[in-house]
Amino acid sequence: MSELPIVVVGEALVDLVVPTEGERSAAVGGSPLNVAVGLAKLGVPTLLITRVGDDEHGRWVADHVRESGAELSATSVVPGTTTSTATAHLDEERAARYEFDLVWDLDHHALPDARALHVGSLGATLLPGRRAVDDLVRQAQEYDLFVSYDPNARPAFLGDPQETWSAVVEIASRSRLVKVSDEDLVLLRPGIPVAEAARALLAGDTTELVVVTHGAGGATAYAPDFSVHQPAPGTEVVDTVGAGDSFMAALLAILDDWDVPADGPGALDALDEDRIAMLLRGAMTAASVTCSRRGANPPTRQELPPTWPL
């Protein structure tokens, strides 16, 4: 297995969690950061490219990334700036609604040596930083590098759904793996059946697999010749913060174990229905651990069953 890292690009911030009852709390967050941390905790070499300030929150972000085992790019800390925040309001069912104070003005980067590139969330949506993310995806394509993408749409930043959908389709078309929630697709394609919207994402020239998560309803994978659905495992949910990011990190970790990124274009498409079902089960197992405890706290390999991802 290559020792090159999976490079993750996108926003990092501090989450302020407000439950319906009990004390408020604060934690490091941001979907791409959570994916990077989740990958590192699963033993995958990981490099995060993001944008934080040199303030107290920024130091907290940097410490959190490094404590997970991931690396933070030297360009990620921008002197003289502040670190973004997100406030997660939990409802009675412990699902999160977010409010953001976010700046995303990532500089252009040369793509580091990597085994794969993951992009997503606000980092792949918000200008001006989105242009730098687009450019990294373009560079990855030039090297036939495995690219994964999770739109992780946020209503507060949605804007015009059609315009946002066009941007999502553009990045998805250059990604071999796209992971999206059913809530994302309802927001981005109102009135369109989820399966139809997922198939539209699969139509990209590069895309080999689209995975749709349905919360407690499980997950469905769409491949060119088949689809596979797996139910979610029974879980006593504490909250859902970071569950989708744990799912995404686990997808990439399992595929990396199977050498799919290293095997180049077509390797993901070559997986059969049984292997895709195993992929979904493994990712949901990891996400269920995150749901069973407070905050975006993805599992380590040692916290997963010995036979994982079976």
Percent of the chain with pLDDT over 90: 77
Planar angle of CA 215, 230, 261, nearest 5 degrees: 95
Give the separation between CA 180 and CA 19, rounded to whole angstroms: 26
pLDDT digits (tens, 9 = 90+) for 153-187: 887 777 788 888 999 999 999 999 999 999 999 99
Structure-token match 């804007």, residue found: 159
Query: Which of the pair, 20 or 96, is modelled with greater confidence?
Result: 20
Is there a contact between 241 and 88 (Cβ–Cβ < 8 Å)? yes
Q: Which fold has domain 6-300?
A: UDP-N-acetylmuramoyl-L-alanine:D-glutamate ligase (3.40.1190)
Whole-angstrom Cα distance, residue 223 to residue 272?
9
Query: What pTM was estimated for this model as a whole?
Result: 0.92
Give how far Cα 125 sits from Cα of 131, 132, 145, Å: 9, 11, 21
Burial of 229 (0-12, 13-18, 19+ CB in 10 A): middle
Closest to 153 (Cα-Cα) out of 106, 199, 187: 187
Question: In the numeric block, which tokens belong to residue 144?
Answer: 């036939």
DSSP string for residues in 198-267: HHHHHTSSS--EEEEE-GGG-EEEE-SS-EEEEPPPP---S--TTHHHHHHHHHHHHHHHTTTTTT-TTT
Q: Shortest CA distance to 34 belongs to which of 201, 100, 75, 42?
A: 42
Is residue 193 scored above 60 in pLDDT?
yes
Mean pLDDT of the chain: 92
pLDDT score of 271: 98
Residues 52 and 83 sit within 8 Å (Cβ to Cβ):
yes
Please give the DSSP secondary-structure letter assigned to residue 80: T
Q: Average pLDDT of 8-26?
A: 84
Q: How confident is the model over 123-153, as pLDDT tens digits?
A: 998 989 999 999 999 999 999 999 999 999 8
